[in-house]
Amino acid sequence: MIQLHDLHFQPYLSTEDIQTVVSDLAKQILLDYKDRTPLFIGVLNGSFIFLSDLVRSYNGDCEMSFVKYTSYEGTSSTGTITTDLAFPSIEGRDVIVVEDIVDTGNTLAHIYKQLENANATSIAVASLFLKPDVYKKDFKIDYVGKEIPNKFIVGYGLDYNGLGRNLPEIYQLNTTQND
Ligand code: IMP
Ligand code: MG
């Protein structure tokens, strides 16, 4: 059990569990993109560790870049999204947006809006985690590492109010301890 700010979290996925999910995703993507050079675009801050492991597992030519938005405060989405770092030029590129986790899908909807008129050759989304019980949008998430229950998680890039990103494993909010 660990504590970040006021909340307690329990171990959920080990580093081995995560690496299996990430390398399976990389293999899946390589099968689809083996004749192309995809441009991985990581959504900061949460995806920075996932992206770095994903590209190191990706056994083919690829490029990478980043965008940054703010939507979360505490353990729930605020619904308002601001752009802190905008998209690079994606004209003629095979773009793969890399997300740490898709929750409500608000961030993804915002990203799609920015991408749709930028003349990319193709656009795909890879997310390490998806909360299917919360996700209510129609945008396709092409590559999902793991579907998880609607519980707040931290570690491996994911934070609770700034803390927990450096944890190598994933931890889940412990509802009994926090009640
Ligand atoms: P959405 O816009 O509601 O889909 O939320 C997307 C962003 O919120 C993700 O990219 C994360 O940065 C953050 N987020 C959503 N769920 C969690 C969670 O369980 N732990 C930590 N961050 C989360
Ligand atoms: Mg994020």
Domain 2-173 matching CATH 3.40.50.2020: the answer reads yes
Residue nearest to atom 20 of ligand 1 (CA): 153
Ligand 1 atom closest to residue 152's alpha carbon, by position in its atom list: 19
Task: Pick from 50, 67, 71 the residue to mutate for probing ligand 1's pocket: most ligand atoms within 8 Å of its CB.
Answer: 71
Strands across the sheet containing 2-4? 2-4, 7-13, 170-173, 153-154
Ligand 1 probe mutation, 158, 166, 170, most atoms within 8 A of CB: 158
pLDDT of the residue at 72: 60
CA dist., res. 71 & res. 83, Å (int) = 9
Q: What is the pLDDT of residues 29-60, one digit of tens each?
A: 999 999 999 999 999 999 999 999 999 999 99
- Is pLDDT of 107 > 90? no
Task: Give the model's pLDDT for residue 85.
Answer: 85
Tens digits of per-residue pLDDT, 50-88? 999 999 999 999 999 999 987 666 666 666 788 888 888
The chain-wide mean pLDDT, for the chain, equals: 93
Q: What is the pTM of this model?
A: 0.94
**Proportion of the chain above pLDDT 70, given as a percent:** 94
Query: Of ligand 1's atoms, which has the minimum distance to the CA of residue 43?
Result: 10
Q: How far is the CA of 34 from the centre of ligand 1 (A)?
A: 30
Query: Which bound ligand lies closest to the C-alpha atom of 102?
Result: 1
Task: Report which of residues 164 and 86 the model is more confident about.
Answer: 164
Query: Known catalytic residue: 179?
Result: no
Residues with Cβ within 8 Å of 71's Cβ and at least 6 positions away in sequence, in order, are 77, 78, 79, 80, 81, 106, 107, 110
What distance in Å separates the CA atoms of residue 49 and residue 69, rounded to the nearest whole number?
17
Residue 174 Cβ inside 6 Å of ligand 1? The answer reads no
- Distance from C-alpha of 62 to C-alpha of 153, rounded to nearest angstrom: 29
Indicate whether 177 pLDDT > 80.
no
List the domain boundaries for the chain: 2-173
Cα of 25 vs centre of ligand 1, distance in Å, is: 20
CA-nearest residue for atom 22, ligand 1, is 158
